[in-house]
Amino acid sequence: MRRFKLVIEYDGTPYQGWQSQAEGRGVQDAVERALWKIEPDAPRLKCAGRTDAGVHALGQVSHVDLQKPWTDRTLRDALNAHLKMAEEAVSVLSAEPCEDRFDCRLWARRRHYRYRLLNRPAPSALDKRRVWHIIKPLDVEAMHEAAQTILGQHDFTTFRASACQAKSPIRTMEEFRVFRAGEEVHVEAAARSFLHNQVRSMVGSLVQVGRGLWPVSRMREALDAKDRAQCGPVAPACGLYFTKVEY
């Protein structure tokens, strides 16, 4: 038996998030169906971080123990062949042998997310389900300044979904920045772990700042309130990407 680390890319639009669903519409289901075509007795996949319905991934990480003597290329290509045949919006970017002790979730040191905002009058014809379209110009400098006020370790109850099952709302934001990229505004966040809906909640509140509806100081005031009611509107899932995991 050999453990493999899989790096997976997916368009989250047609899926109900990463986690396996009873109706089989989780990203996990799509990859496992491909896996079980080539190794029927393979166990279920583990992942570095579950994503919600509609959220995309550029570098989701998973691990699995396999019996057959796969090489990295043959495993990657075999999985992608079955994913392609099934017309899944999922691609396995790499399949690397790793230590038997490797755990894609527990060994993760930092997880990275990016949120894409299309900030122009016209909507996107090509990225309609991959960005949040905002017509009014955003004050990116104010958004970035507001983001810096919540760096560090805090109680993130305000930016936590009411259904979040994490035992503690305490998290440490290691990176949180906002910058313009052509017609888009990107928000990038990095931490060892995040609460349910934390990034989308923080982005929605930053957009309130960018629109001039909140002063910069309101971001920290909302955080300190430890009250979900003080959060701005939650950003839609379509603009969020799980970009990579550091180990």
Domains of the chain: 2-97 (3.30.70.580), 110-242 (3.30.70.660)
Give 10-residue mean pLDDT values along the chain (247 residues).
97 97 95 98 96 97 97 97 98 97 97 98 96 98 98 98 93 98 98 97 98 98 98 98 98
Contact 3, 97 (CB under 8 A): yes
Tell me the one-letter amino acid at 47.
C
Looking at residue 139, its pLDDT comes to 98
Cα–Cα distance measured from residue 85 to residue 157, given in angstroms and rounded to the nearest whole number: 43
Distance in angstroms between the alpha carbons of the first and the last residue of the chain: 23
The answer to whether residue 52 is catalytic is yes
pLDDT at 162: 87
For the whole model, what pTM was predicted? 0.96
Catalytic residue, candidates 11, 29, 41, 52: 52
Sequence-ordered strand ranges (E) for the chain:
2-10, 46-47, 56-66, 90-97, 110-118, 132-133, 152-155, 170-181, 184-191, 240-246
